[in-house]
Structure 1
Amino acid sequence: MVYLIYDGSFEGLISAVFDVYDQKLSQVKLCKKNQEIPDLFARSVEVDFSDQKFKRVSEKLIEYLGKSGFNSFWKATLSELPDVDDLILRLVKYTLQEKKNVLKNYGHLDVLKLQQILKSLNRERHRMNAFVRFELGKDQIFYATIEPDFDVLPLISNHFKNRYADQKWLIFDLKRNYGIYYDLNTVSTLEIAKDNAHNQPAVLEVEWDSAEMEYQKLWKNYFKSTNIKSRKNTKLHLQHVPKRYWRYLTEK
């Protein structure tokens, strides 16, 4: 067994796929840097990202799958599932073997697995679009924190850029220690340094605008006044608003 070690990026993953074919490797697994290799006696090879490798593989896959199909491979990596790299490798092999778009063949177990992952990602994306709550800082930037199951920040940035185009905002993923910031023109990615001395996660320290608490109080009162106790359906409510999201909802 050969373990190909790549940098963790999607481009690095596709570069590793190129090396699988270039080196004619049959027994191979893909691993990110710093990921533990279970087989101590296996051979490991570090793969460097190559724009040329990425371009050759991506162009061939887009030829068969289209841009949307190829993009589904990138989306799948956002799930961060431990076996997603090898799933993508198997699907690439399947595509190149059949020389056509295989992603509608739901009878194939790997295709079905990919579609299930995409469905879960899409559900989480919709929930983040609905459940993100902003708070206004003294610097007149709106802040929100989230901890989604999957790395969905790249999937929700356009939604919030279009919806809140006239205000600056920052959405920070506490679980993955990075965020997306909109400056009224573009959305950029930013990270906050961890407290490495105490191995603590990053802390987003914000001084709130003086009117923020009043706005929150008004929103809670509105939420309470529109609630009809006689029509309370806790089971249905939990189905649409799972409890794990409540900590980020002002009304909760």
Structure 2
Amino acid sequence: MIYVFDGSLEGLLCAVFEWFERKPGKIILKTEKLYQPDVFTAHFPVINDAQKADRVWKALQKKLDKGWMRRYYCCYLSEQPEAYSHLFELTCMLFTGQAGAENNYGDPSVLAVTQWAKKVEREKHRMEAFIRFQQTADGYFYCGIDPDFNVLPLIMGHFKARYADQRWIIYDLKRNYGLHYDLEQVEEIHVSAEDLHRFKKPAAANLLSEQEVHYGNLWKNYFKSTNIVARKNTRLHVQHVPKRYWKYLTEKHSL
């Protein structure tokens, strides 16, 4: 039996609810995006239901402490098909096994959820460290990102607290949604395909303010003047700042 869900957290939790209601035995969990019909294997389409998902989530909160609930959520944000399957297996095990099953790191699902959560947390910290805003002509501070994992929900609180006196937008170009802060609250936003193309290269689209261009050049010159060529250690530098993050750093862009 293949359970097919929409890839959302609500859908994953509903899949758990449906499994316990039907008890079909061993199942394979697939997202709608990856599912391919198989004439030899029956499939069950999971329909999202907020009440069912809420019941499973509240039951999980009784089984897991806050640290483990965060691991669970971070693992989901990895967006990896195998991570979804391990979350499903772990959830079913928690509700059918003995107390403390989440601490059995010999279990493949427990270990996998922990490992995926660590990868997502690492990506979160790197986004918080390497994001560089650019001021647009209308006074907003903007940054476009394309992280490996869906970390926007995790970094929202950090930037709201750190830049509470500035209006800013952080947009995930890979997932086509972003966060907009208007000095009071943070809300999720989506833009059209045309605006998305402009967001990818704000400088080329003449979206940046004149001051931002000057500030960028000043920072590049400062970085160049303080750099000691004789002590350059590219290997160590790449270890601390992987090359895939250089596109976010102003000092890495040529003058």
| TM-score, structure 2 as length reference | 0.90
What is the rounded CA distance, in whole Å, between the counterparts of 1:44 and 1:204 in structure 2?
A: 42
Residue 233 of structure 1 is matched in structure 2 by 233
Asked if the contact 2:220–2:250 (Cα under 8 Å) also holds between the matched residues in 1, the reply is yes
| Structure-to-structure mapping, 1:131-170, within 5 angstroms | 131-170=130-169
- Say if 2:104 is the partner of 1:105: yes
Residue 48 of structure 2 is matched in structure 1 by 49
What is the rounded CA distance, in whole Å, between the counterparts of 1:27 and 1:110 in structure 2?
A: 15
What is the rounded CA distance, in whole Å, between the counterparts of 1:77 and 1:34 in structure 2?
A: 16
| Structure-to-structure mapping, 1:87-236, within 5 angstroms | 87-194=86-193, 202-205=196-199, 206=202, 207-236=207-236
User: Which stretch of structure 1 is more off in the superposition, 221-230 or 155-164?
Assistant: 221-230
What's the CA shift string for 1:147-168, capped at 9, x where partnerless? 1111111111111111111001
What's the CA shift string for 1:33-66, capped at 9, x where partnerless? 3333263432222222222211221222211112
Amino acid at match of 2:137: K
Gaps of 5+ in 2: none
Residue 162 of structure 1 aligns to a residue whose secondary structure is helix
User: Which stretch of structure 1 is more off in the superposition, 210-219 or 31-40?
Assistant: 31-40
Over aligned residues, Cα RMSD in angstroms? Answer: 1.8
Question: 1:214: how far off?
Answer: 0.3
Residue 26 of structure 2 is matched in structure 1 by 27
Asked if the contact 2:30–2:81 (Cα under 8 Å) also holds between the matched residues in 1, the reply is no
Residue 84 of structure 1 is matched in structure 2 by 83
Question: 1:218: how far off?
Answer: 1.1
What's the CA shift string for 1:152-205, capped at 9, x where partnerless? 11111111111111001111111111111111111111112336xxxxx93134
Amino acid at match of 1:221: N
What's the CA shift string for 1:90-126, capped at 9, x where partnerless? 1012212334233332222221111111111111111
Asked if the contact 1:121–1:150 (Cα under 8 Å) also holds between the matched residues in 2, the reply is yes
Amino acid at match of 2:52: K
Residue 91 of structure 1 aligns to a residue whose secondary structure is helix
Q: How many residues align?
A: 246
Question: 1:6: how far off?
Answer: 2.1
Asked if the contact 1:62–1:69 (Cα under 8 Å) also holds between the matched residues in 2, the reply is no
What is the rounded CA distance, in whole Å, between the counterparts of 1:162 and 1:4 in structure 2?
A: 40
Amino acid at match of 1:232: K
| TM-score, structure 1 as length reference | 0.91
Residue 140 of structure 1 aligns to a residue whose secondary structure is coil
Residue 198 of structure 1 is matched in structure 2 by none
Amino acid at match of 2:173: L
Superposed structure 1 runs of 4+ greater than 6 Å apart: none
Higher helix share: 2
Gaps of 5+ in 1: 196-200
Residue 5 of structure 2 is matched in structure 1 by 6
